[in-house]
A and B are shown apart, each in its own frame.
Chain A
Amino acid sequence: MQNTLTKISGETKFEFLIFLALALIPLVFSGYILFILPQYMLFGLLAVSLSILWGFTGIVSFGQAGFFAIGAYAIGIVVKSNFLMNSAILGILLGIVFSAVVAGVVGYFLFSAKVKATYFVLATLALSIIIEQLAKSQKEITGGWNGLFVDRILINFGDLFEYSLFNDVPMYYFTLLLTIIAFVLIKFLISSNFGKILKGIRENEDRILALGYNTSIYKTLIFCVSGALAGFAGSIYGTHAGFVDPSLARVLFSTEVIVWVAIGGRNSIIGSFLGGILVASLANYLNSITPEYWQLIIGIVFIAVVILFKGGLAGGFEEIYYRLITKKYASARN
């Protein structure tokens, strides 16, 4: 009991330090890094949306990019039509609601039909392709192949308060704040009884059923939350990037999310979050220095991490940390 308590607080401390560092970056750096980092934080959230499914419930999804795209298109379309004063907030809310509803409906039918894990993966793959095709074909709404330009939004609550996200620093802090809120909510969810039952499903679904939990409801709910989170990240991404196009929903992007989470550590929320940020940054950097081989290098990193550490970098970090602690205890005893 003592051990788990210190472990939890250690992880929370680490998370606090990471977000503190992110909050201090605009004071030290300027320019491109301030533009691009919020985008990577959103990728981090997208990675978290997969981690709660894959790492904490044992369900793999190849459809996360699809939900991300739904969020991005939601804000794009709402801001463009500009029929309300609070179109920005409405856009984000619709992004969350739409992706949650799509995930909920798809999840409900697949899980209550007791579809096996492998077929569920294929269904999410198809979902991603359907969303991409819809984005391409519904030209009047989505702009088709050419995509959609989205203005940086203006957050306002009537005349009381107005906050423009046109510049990079306000956008940076806006994104960071929402990221922290989403992160904390997900942490609460995972440590709640609901989260414990998800872990039980991952460990032994037959047992959880035989304890009287209706697993298809739990799986549908977490898929819904995962979709909502991906859609939320996507909606902010839409206004941040200023441009949305069908390639956001492509399967390749969903695969990238899986790579982030596998490298970062699927059993750790902060590990997946950092996986999203670090691997996306690395990919960006490698792409600029060696455009021919960067994917090859990412692939090698992916394979190396998966072979070396069972739980990704977060799992490896934990392992080394415990080894050091036991060494310390051992030497203290001698």
Chain B
Amino acid sequence: MHLLEINNLSKSFKGLLANDKICMELKLGEARCIIGPNGAGKTTLISMISGHLFQSSGNISFNGKNIGNFDLVKRVRLGIGRKFQTPTLFDNLTVYENIELSVIRNKYDNLKKFFKIDETLKLIRLFDEKDVLANTLSHGQRQWLEIGLLIGNNVKLLLLDEPTAGMTTEETIATTKLINNLSGEKNLSIIVIEHDINFVRELGAQITVLHLGKIFAEGNYNNIENNRFVREIYLGAPDVVN
């Protein structure tokens, strides 16, 4: 059974079709990259899965349950967590307090809570910064902290909107490892929107290409790289000429 099943999902904004009959499936522990030029409808798709937007038609099921009408909070409680395009954190709280706020929703006892916070801080490589205010972190660390909020929240499906934006090469590599670790060892399902093609290659996940609100192509990195039409719309036309 698939963890996430999306069926003919469409979204229109006053006549503009942002997503057009998207169909997609995601297994438990699977990572998936969504790429596509600006305005392809990537963020809209993620927003419909997370519950920040409601679909115009079609349906979404998660863990066998039809969640098309569920609100944001209900979906989070089922296990769908989202990282926003610009990191959305509790800026005036410390890193520790940030993670704590996400962990306490699980209603653990004190010991278990402590371990969960500890484990999460180590996973996102911010253990040494735990007493630092979130607004003093570097841009890359802020991205990690927000991923940490999802891990602490015990989600099953992570929706990551441009997680490596503003990161150094080294940080990007660490993020790739983190995401592979989460999908491989922790068995979490992950959807990543990304523009950085190097990151997409390193991640080695299945890729879905969106173009003008439709699924344009699907496959692994080599398939996509060698797809002439994808190169045309996304990687740049000059390559095709050569």
- Tell me the A residues contacting B by CB distance below 8 Å: 1, 3-4, 193, 196-197, 199-200, 203-204, 206-214
Whose C-beta in chain A lies nearest to the C-beta of B149? A211
Q: Give complex CA distance A203, B88 in Å.
A: 10
Chain A residues whose C-beta falls within 8 Å of the C-beta of B91 in the assembled complex: 203-204
Question: Given the interface contacts A203-B90, A206-B88, A210-B81, does A197 sit within 8 Å of B101 by beta carbon?
Answer: yes
Residue of B nearest to A215 (CB): B73
B82 at interface by CB-CB < 8 Å? yes
Taken residue by residue from 122 to 133, chain B's Cβ proximity to chain A (1 for < 8 Å, 0 otherwise) reads as 000000000100
Residue of B nearest to A3 (CB): B131
Identify which of A196, A197, A203, A209 contacts B72 (C-beta below 8 A): A209
Q: Is the interface of A mostly helix, strand, loop or mixed?
A: helix
Q: Are A1 and B101 in contact (CB under 8 A)?
A: no
> In the complex, given contacts A204-B89, A204-B90, A211-B105, what are 14 additional A-B residue pairs having Cβ atoms less than 8 angstroms apart?
A4-B131, A196-B100, A197-B104, A199-B90, A200-B101, A203-B90, A207-B88, A207-B149, A209-B73, A210-B76, A210-B81, A210-B88, A212-B73, A212-B76
CB distance from B75 to the nearest CB of A (A): 8
Min Cβ gap A326→B in Å is 16
Asked if residues A207 and B131 are in contact (CB atoms below 8 Å), the reply is: no
- Tell me the minimal C-beta distance from B72 to chain A in angstroms: 6
Instruction: Identify 8 residue pairs between A and B in the complex whose beta-carbon atoms are under 8 Å apart, listed by A's number.
Output: A196-B100, A196-B104, A200-B101, A204-B88, A209-B72, A211-B101, A212-B73, A214-B73
Q: Are A199 and B93 in contact (CB under 8 A)?
A: yes
- With most chain B CB atoms within 10 A of its CB, the pick from A196, A211, A213 is A211
Q: Which residues of A contact B105 (CB under 8 A)?
A: 211-213
Task: Decide: B90 and A207 in contact? CB cutoff 8 A.
Answer: yes
Q: Verify B82–A210 contact, CB threshold 8 A.
A: yes
At the interface, yes or no: B57 with Cβ under 8 Å from chain A? no
Smallest CB gap from A210: residue in B: B82
- Interface size on B, as a range, is 20 to 34
Chain B residues in 8 Å Cβ range of A196: 97, 100-101, 104
| A209 contacts across to B, CB distance below 8 A | 72-73
Q: Which residues of A contact B100 (CB under 8 A)?
A: 196
How far in angstroms is the closest Cβ of chain A from B64? 20
Q: Is the CB of A208 within 8 A of B82?
A: no
B19-54 at interface with A (beta carbon < 8 Å) = 50
Chain B contacts for A211, CB-based, 8 A: 76, 81, 101-102, 105, 149, 153
For the complex, what is the distance from the CA of A193 to the CA of B107, rounded to whole Å? Answer: 9
Please give me the residue from chain B that is nearest to A194 by CB atom: B104
Give bound CA distance, A203 to B73, whole Å: 18
CA separation between A134 and B125, bound complex, in Å?
A: 59
Determine which residue in B81, B101, B102, B149 has the highest number of CB atoms from chain A within 10 A of its CB, and name it. Answer: B101
CB of B50 within 8 A of CB of A208, answer no
Which residues from 75 to 130 on chain B have a C-beta closer than 8 Å to any C-beta of chain A? 76-77, 81-82, 84, 88-93, 97, 100-102, 104-105
**Known contacts being A196-B101, A197-B104, A200-B101, is A212 close to B77, with CB within 8 Å?**
yes
Cα A199 to Cα B91 with chains together (Å): 11
A210-B76, A212-B76 given as contacts; is B153 within 8 A of A203 (CB)?
A: no
Shortest CB-to-CB span from B118 to chain A, Å, is 12
Q: Verify B101–A208 contact, CB threshold 8 A.
A: yes
Across the two chains, which residue of chain A brings its CB closest to B152?
Answer: A211
Quote the shortest CB–CB distance from B222 to chain A (angstroms): 35
User: Chain A nearest CB: distance from B17 CB in Å?
Assistant: 26
- What's the Cα separation between A243 and B73 when bound, in Å? 48
Q: How far is the CA of A113 from the CA of B73 in the complex (A)?
A: 15
CA–CA, A197 to B104, complex, Å?
9
- The 5 A-B residue pairs whose C-beta atoms are closest, nearest first, are A212-B76, A203-B90, A193-B104, A200-B101, A212-B77
| Of A199, A209, A212, most B-chain CB atoms within 10 Å | A212
Contact yes or no, A1 B89, CB < 8 A? no
Docked CA distance A144–B130 (Å): 58
Chain A residues positioned under 8 Å from B81 (CB to CB):
210-211
Q: Are B77 and A200 in contact (CB under 8 A)?
A: no
Decide if B89 touches A210 in the complex (CB within 8 Å): no
Q: Report the separation of the CA atoms of residues A3 and B133 in the bound assembly, to the nearest whole angstrom.
A: 14
Beta-carbon contact of A210 and B131 below 8 Å: no
Question: What B residues does A3 contact at CB under 8 A?
Answer: 131
Give the complex CA separation of A148 and B188 in angstroms.
Answer: 65
Docked pose: A214 CA to B100 CA in angstroms: 17
Q: Which residues of B contact A197 (CB under 8 A)?
A: 101, 104
Residue of B nearest to A2 (CB): B131
B104 contact set on A, CB distance < 8 A: 193, 196-197
